[in-house]
Amino acid sequence: MTVTEPSGWWKPRPAAHHAILPPEIWLSIFHHATAVPQALDTDFRDPFELPSPSSSKQVGRSVYDSLITKRYLVRVCKDWCQLASRFLYREVVIGRGRTLVSLRSTLLESQRRAEEALAAGEDIRSLGWYTLRFELATRQCTSLKDMSPLSELLELIDIFRCLPNLQILIVIHAVGHYPPCPVSVLSSLGSHCGQSLRVIRWYGDTCPNALEWAQLLRTTPNLRVLHFPNYQDHSQLGGLQLGPALPQLVSLERSSRSEFPTQTTSTNRAFPSLQHLSISAFRPPKFLLTRYGLQLTCITITTLRDDEILRLISDSCPNLRKMVIRLQVPDRLPTHLPNVTHLGLRFDMMNVSRHTTEGAFQGLNTMDAPNLQVLRFLDRMFLDPVRERQPEVFDWAIELLSGCRYRVEDCNGVAIHPRFGEDALGHV
């Protein structure tokens, strides 16, 4: 109070805003401020739905950006730390193996406190209770003293014990830095997280072998999406045949041909709900196409070499309706399609020559696709550079595609048509 203020003018300081609003409102605010679309998806997303699904890399970057926001939230004050910590641990991303040590200590301490609170009659959850997505995306080996890559991985044994509601597991190891995942870690994962797991995406070479896969999958009856790594020894994928039934599995990604003898396979269908396969044309999983072809509605081809894989799909999958092809070379398009109504194209190259560009659009124009209704460019990797750097080719291509019987769309579902002119790609 200053000398010019009358006596008794001073009033108590108003309560902080976070003390006035009920916790439920702050939880809703924190959720909307930190939620990442698709980060917690536990089902296969139709590649033709709108808005178009983001790629796994885009989702991963968004999750990382969200973690930065969450770290700021928990540092505001004690109340916010208590309320926002559950969101900080909802998605866990391990970028350096050494952080597994501190994460293990934090989760174990939080679980100990939660158990003590429960014994005292208080309903307090541990931090690991809220974890739904765990991403082990290590970029390098440890720099901690007395630690090795193997000892880092062993920290996961206790970490998985603290994650009873884990739904999504993503493993992306730095190449050449880590040994195969120890059996004890896989056992802990299956014992403590198996029932809750819905998605497993395992990339790289540090992956379980066929027998270990079979043992792990026996503990995951509710799994809906499974991504196998790109094996050097494709025979290890015999685990698909030797493993248990997964009644809810909808999508199987990056599967390849198995060299295991067919007599080891049960006559029962292990994947009665399977609808989507992601395969390579170099080693297609014929046993999967033969056994589940009737129920498949969507196939993704990660590498297209020639039309042989398409003939195999046509013979095996009469009910197929949608197909996605990832092209390393834009003008390497199929000459004939199965009886699909939707074709999606993704590209791994941005800068292509005029000759290649013209060849790609000519291929689209001459492609034999009797039942095709929609062809969609699922990303901007090809169309945007052509529009910006080869405008005369782009105009010619629009005119050429206007004669197709099917609708040609950009990644936003906007038709590419001559009358749209400059807005043909959905640009404003």
Place of tokens 């930065």: 68
| Range in 19-33, 92-106, 183-197 with the lowest mean pLDDT | 19-33
**Is there a contact between 265 and 245 (Cβ–Cβ < 8 Å)?**
no
Please provide the average confidence, as pLDDT, over all residues in the chain: 84
Q: For residue range 53-90, what is the model confidence (pLDDT) as tens digits?
A: 888 888 989 999 999 989 888 888 877 888 888 899 99
Taking residues 38-42, what's their average pLDDT? 95
DSSP state of 90: T
H helix runs in 75-125, sequence order: 78-88, 99-119
Per-residue model confidence as pLDDT tens digits over 268-327: 678 999 999 999 888 788 888 999 999 999 999 988 877 889 999 999 999 999 999 998
Q: What percentage of the chain exceeds 70 in pLDDT?
A: 83
Strand partners, 276: 251, 298
SS3 168: strand
Pairing, β 374-377 against β 133-136 = unpaired
What value does the mean pLDDT take over residues 357-381? 90
| pLDDT score, position 258 | 47
User: For position 7, what pLDDT does the model report?
Assistant: 58
Where residue 296 falls (left for φ over 0; alpha for ψ -120 to 50; beta otherwise) is beta
Give the pairing type, strands 199-203 and 133-136: unpaired
The stretch 9-23 carries a mean pLDDT of 60
Residue 238 pLDDT > 80: no
Q: pLDDT value at position 423?
A: 46
User: Range with the lowest mean pLDDT among 15-19, 163-167, 257-261, 361-365?
Assistant: 257-261
Q: What is the mean pLDDT of residues 204-221?
A: 86
**Averaged pLDDT, 122-142:** 88
Q: Write the pLDDT tens digit of every residue in 84-107.
A: 888 999 999 998 888 999 999 999
> Which band of pLDDT confidence, cut at 50, 70 and 90, is reported for residue 45?
very high
Q: Distance (Å, rounded) from C-alpha 350 to C-alpha 362?
A: 18
Spatial CA neighbour of 177 closest among 232, 98, 60: 98
Q: What is the dihedral of CA 280, 354, 386, 62, to 10 degrees?
A: 40
The full set of domain ranges for the chain reads: 52-89, 92-230
Residues contacting residue 38 through CB under 8 Å, at least 6 positions apart: 45, 53, 54, 59
Report how far residue 233's alpha carbon sits from residue 227's, in angstroms, rounded to the nearest whole number. 16
pLDDT at 241 over 80: no
pLDDT score of 260: 37
User: What mean pLDDT comes out for the span 107-122?
Assistant: 92
Between CA 236 and CA 230 the distance in angstroms is: 11
d(CA 198, CA 168): 6
Determine contact, residues 360/328, Cβ cutoff 8 Å.
Answer: no
Distance between CA 83 and CA 127 in Å, rounded? 11
The residues, ordered by sequence, that sit 6+ positions from 244 with a Cβ below 8 Å of its Cβ are 214, 217, 218, 270
Check pLDDT > 50 for residue 262: no
Predicted pLDDT at 4: 55
* 20 pLDDT higher than 90: no
Mean pLDDT throughout 23-28?
Answer: 82
Query: Of residues 17 and 299, which shows the higher confidence score?
Result: 299
